Amino acid sequence: MGTLDGKVALVTAGSRGIGRGIVEAFLAEGATVVMTGRSAEKGEKALSEIGLPDRTAFLAGDAKSKNDVAGWVSTTVERFGRIDVLVNNAGGSDGFALVHELSDEAWDKAFTFIVDSAFWATRAALGVMVEQGSGRIINISSVAGKVGDQAAVSHYISAKHAMNGFTKAVAFEYGTQGITSNAICPGAIETDLMVEVGPSFAAENNQTYEEYKADYAKDAAIGRLNTVEEVGAMAVLLAGPAGGGITGALLNVDGGTAPY
């Protein structure tokens, strides 16, 4: 028996990286999991690799589209009858620059991708969770949501701080209705996305990509980067029965790099 037997989870941006790690962790505990992403091809590949067609589904769409995001929730409920866990994992930023050179487009995109997408999905899911009398909201934030010590990423830092505030607001409003809301704040994890965007981010800080990774490992109490499996384990805790008393928390999975 898994801790998530009979539960239905929706994980945005779940076909690879941290999202994929959470999807696989939930499946290992018996959940049915719907994952989303922009690429139908990557989604089908993920489903094939996982090999559990009765307990998995993929929905294509853009997390920056309100209609797509709301549709993910409604389709999950239509297909599986309920939604017990929502993981808002989608989000990111580009156009890295110092504040005086940061474009409106980069700022707006970061907030739409990170904050708005989480709001749209959470709003839709809460309507169902309130009727059920239970639910779990898990936002994938970042240690950047607790500090502001990196140059050229003020839009990402600001959006993740906003996500953390939203997490606490939802926890306060719905805590007496059997619904919890928490944020996981990962440190550096070498996902596919990090391999793609890490070099440009490092360059903005006058580093090579290897120096960038080494800095995180050096600053971590564990002396290494974290793994997607470690984030997945935290998500399982929050999604399961043992997480019922945890809400409004901003939980680090960062190897000890954050100051609090």
Nearest to 13 by CA among 58, 77, 73: 58
Sheet strands (E) in the chain: 8-11, 32-37, 56-60, 85-88, 135-140, 179-186, 250-253
212 given a catalytic annotation: no
Q: Are 13 and 189 in contact (CB under 8 A)?
A: no
CB contact burial 17-48 (16+ within 10 A = b; e otherwise): bbbbbbbbbbbebebbbbbbbbeeebbeebbe
Characterize the bridge pairing of strands 135-140 and 85-88: parallel
- Phi and psi torsions of 112, nearest 5°: -65, -45
CB 34 within 8 Å of CB 76: yes
CB atoms within 10 A of CB 105: 10
Burial (CB count <10 Å: 0-12, 13-18, 19+), residue 60? middle
Catalytic-role residue among 156, 174, 212, 216: 156
Question: Does residue 219 come out as left (phi exceeding 0), alpha (psi in the -120 to 50 range) or beta?
Answer: alpha
CA atoms of 129 and 95, how far apart (whole Å): 37
Instruction: State phi, psi for 62 to the nearest 5 degrees.
Output: -115, 125
Instruction: Judge whether 19 and 87 are in contact, CB under 8 Å.
Output: yes
Instruction: Cite the active site residues.
Output: 156
